[in-house]
Amino acid sequence: MKILGIGNALVDILAKLPNEELIKELNVAKGSMNLIEEDARKTLLGKIEAIDLKMTSGGSVSNTALALRQLGAPSGYIGKVGNDEYGKFYVNELTQAGVDLHLIYASGFSGTAITMITPDGERTFCTYLGAAAGMQKTEIQKSVVEQYTHLYVEGYLVHNHDLIEGVMKLAKSLDLTVMLDLASFNVVASDRTFICKLVEEYVDILFANEEESLAFTGKSSPDEAIYEIARHVKIAVRKDGYKGSWIKYGDEPIHIPVYQKVKPIDTTAAGDYYAAGFFFGMIHDASPEKCARLGSLLACYIIRVVGTKLQPETWEEIRKKAYEILNY
């Protein structure tokens, strides 16, 4: 089993806010992802310039690919970057991590995600896609996709219907398992009909948090939502933060508690790391329950730090605990 991810190649610019005033001033929903243009990006950077900012490679699926490599599993990634300093930084970070990169290069600016972290650990994104927005279906090579057994797609790509449906269709024609993360509740709500079509026709495994599951299904409760999602896919996964997660692939949903109760410092990449743990279990032929427990393990660690990276000694600890779960 070998997983190929495709998503928006972004550099995260992390800002720990002292309160929620800037979120209110921007008139965006806390916890949402919002696309912005270059002028808005410059303005927002000016508003947070006094804050001690942190820069790291980002993009939902590339975070997952990087975490998989840190666990010792192979992973590949397709994305599009510009020829600027952000692009060079992004390529260097993922190359050093050992991710098999199948990048598309463009002139101009690379994508950046300004990540505003409120005191409760919640993150709100204002994302300038830059070169990532220009990725086209015709740039996805069959010779790359056919090297893999599973395709993992981020829901943020839904802004480009031709691309996201094209790569899923290609993957299914090559008999790959297609996996999708719904990404953000406001993304789902803005294009629900198209996303439902994608899930119905191509998706085998679907990841969603509570809000995304409700936006996707139109149901009034998360419990109803996971049943509805599972009618369309082989495995449905609902991530509920501090309440743990639920998986459904048989008659009844199964609850998986959080690995350990901790106060989140930053929830950025929690879902991305959960997916990496889940896939690590799949690579080792673990049951879906163990896959979910591995997802909870990784999510527990990443919410303890600001950003999307963990120290080498932390990864050593995680790998040890992961194998304990696999062999339990």
**pLDDT tens per residue, the chain (328 residues)?**
999 999 999 998 999 999 999 999 999 999 888 989 989 989 999 999 888 888 889 889 999 999 999 999 999 999 999 999 999 999 999 999 999 999 999 988 999 999 999 999 888 989 999 999 999 999 999 999 999 999 999 999 998 999 999 999 999 999 999 999 998 888 898 899 999 999 999 999 999 999 999 999 999 999 999 999 999 999 999 999 999 999 999 889 999 999 999 988 888 889 999 999 999 999 999 999 999 999 999 999 999 998 888 999 999 999 999 999 998 7
Residue 137 CB neighbours (<10 A): 15
Residue 162 near residue 133, CB atoms below 8 Å: no
Question: What's the pLDDT score for residue 251?
Answer: 87
Give which of 189, 227, 184 is closest to 208, Cα–Cα: 184
Nearest-angstrom CA–CA distance, 309 and 57: 9
For residue 183, what pLDDT is reported?
85
Phi-psi region of 59 (alpha: psi -120 to 50; beta: other; left: phi over 0): left
Distance CA 246, CA 108 (A): 42
- Find out whether 213 and 239 touch, Cβ atoms under 8 Å: no
- Domain 3-327 in CATH 3.40.1190.20? The answer is yes
Q: Residue 168 — left, alpha, or beta (φ > 0 → left; ψ -120 to 50 → alpha)?
A: alpha
Quick one: pLDDT at residue 123?
87
pLDDT for the residue 33: 85
The ranges assigned to domains in the chain are: 3-327
**Biggest alpha carbon–alpha carbon distance for the chain:** 53
d(CA 171, CA 165): 10
* Phi, psi of 19, deg, nearest 5: -160, -170
Q: Could you tell me whether strands 54-58 and 150-154 are parallel, antiparallel, or unpaired per DSSP bridges?
A: unpaired
Helix, strand, coil share of the chain (percent; to 5): 45, 20, 30
Tell me what pLDDT residue 169 has: 97
Q: Which two tokens stand for residue 99?
A: 């991710």
Q: What is the DSSP letter of 177?
A: E
pLDDT at 290: 96
pTM for this entry? 0.89
Q: Do the beta carbons of residue 203 and residue 231 sit within 8 Å?
A: no
